[in-house]
Structure formats: structure tokens, C-alpha cells
A = this chain, B = another copy of it.
Amino acid sequence: MSKSLPVVELPVLQDAAQCCPPITAGALPVADSERMAALFKALSDPVRLRLFSRIASHPGGEACVCDIQDVGVSQPTVSHHLKKLREAGLLTSQRRGTWVYYRVEPAALAGMSQLLAVPS
């Protein structure tokens, strides 16, 4: 008999690239503000932001935790921050052998980028 898995509530980010128009274009609806505020919250810690930048800028767009963990905090703290970034939908992860590999979720980055776009 199959064991049922617990349902994990994650922000729906499939359409983050479509959400939202630039902040300068109109007032943000409530639902979008909740979704986007959660992404900014994940980036509101300097160590998390540095980890995110290390993954985003890693050759091939993917980083092993072993490549990025020298940010001056303990390994459990790195794991905690990576979990927060993953839970917010900013990163995806994959275990391969001994290591976990992280990638930036393109839709989440695109959504934030679009929201904060400066009118040209």
C-alpha cells in the first residue's frame, strides 16, 4: 500500500514571470503583493542574498553546496538559509550522490526583475 505524502504548501510560482507588471505601472493587487513580499523576505538576509548570488552566478547556473558554503557562517546555518530560499521558491535543488546541487528558479528571478524594472 502506498504511503501518502504530506502536502507541502509552497507559493505558486509557475507564473511568476507573468506576475507582475512593473511597480511603476500600477498598484499591486493584494495576492501579488503577498507572493512577491515572500520572495523579497527570502532575500532580506545578507547571507541568504550572498548564497543566492553565488548560485545565480555559478558557471552553468548550478552550484554544489560544497562550492558556495564559505560565506563565514557554520554549515548548518548555510543549510538553514538554503532551505529558506528553496521554500520561498527562489531555488530548486537536486541530490546527486553525496552532494545537493542548487539552481535559481528562473520564473522567481524574472518575476522580481519585472516588478522592479525601471522605466526606460
Contact = CB atoms under 8 A, between A and B. Distances in A.
Contacts of A49: 28, 33, 36-37, 40
A21 B52 CA distance: 14
Contacts of A36: 43, 49
A112 to B, nearest CB: 5
Q: Which of A25, A52, A110, A113 has the most CB of B within 10 A?
A: A113
Interface in A50-72: 50, 52-54, 56-57, 72
A54 B43 CA distance: 22
A23 interface: yes
A72 B29 CA distance: 12
A116 interface: yes
Given A23-B57, A40-B49, 18 more contacts: A23-B53, A24-B104, A24-B109, A27-B57, A28-B50, A28-B53, A33-B47, A37-B45, A40-B40, A41-B44, A44-B44, A109-B116, A109-B118, A112-B116, A113-B116, A113-B117, A113-B118, A116-B116
